Amino acid sequence: MISVNDRLPSAQFQHMENGEMKTTSTEELFAGKKVVMFAVPGAFTPTCSEAHLPGFVANADKIKAKGVDSIICVSVNDAFVMSAWGKSQNAEELIMLADGGAEFHEAAGLSMDTGTFGGVRAVRYSMIVEDGVVTQLNVEAPKEFKVSDAETVLAQL
């Protein structure tokens, strides 16, 4: 599993921009920037929709006021699902990224296999990344939501 002081693995992500699917790289997203990124096991799932994403939406201004260039929500879903979920959650201040094939999460050691429930997914976590290097990493134990919330990230910034 990736650790504090490690560089993020190189990967491609998809997102929707002006109605079109775009592909972007880890390097484009993180080079020369301070970024908060958090992952959820699945868009539209209960804890993700009721607590995890809403916390970052509600605290986006406070997080950015701490010198953060962008806040990224990522999941092993497709870009269309991530875009629709972001719209339904009023997440205009966040970048809603898809790691559709789990390329990034498997390379970072932040994936889990949920079997017939949904296959390979991201574990629930949050991280602070500066110029592509992880400076804080908060990985949840299975089926928990205690350390990857927006309030924890705010306290770490």
Query: Vertex 4, ends 8 and 155: CA angle to 5°?
Result: 110
Residue 56: count of CB within 10 angstroms of its CB: 24
Residue with tokens 């693995």: 9
AA letter at 5: N
The answer to whether residues 3 and 134 touch, using CB atoms and an 8 Å cutoff, is yes
Q: Is 73 a catalytic residue?
A: no
Residue 40: count of CB within 10 angstroms of its CB: 27
The answer to whether residues 15 and 25 touch, using CB atoms and an 8 Å cutoff, is no
Residue with tokens 């992952």: 39
Neighbouring residues of 147: CB distance < 8 A, sequence distance ≥ 6: 126, 138, 139, 140
Catalytic-role residue among 48, 73, 97, 153: 48
Which amino acids are annotated catalytic? 48
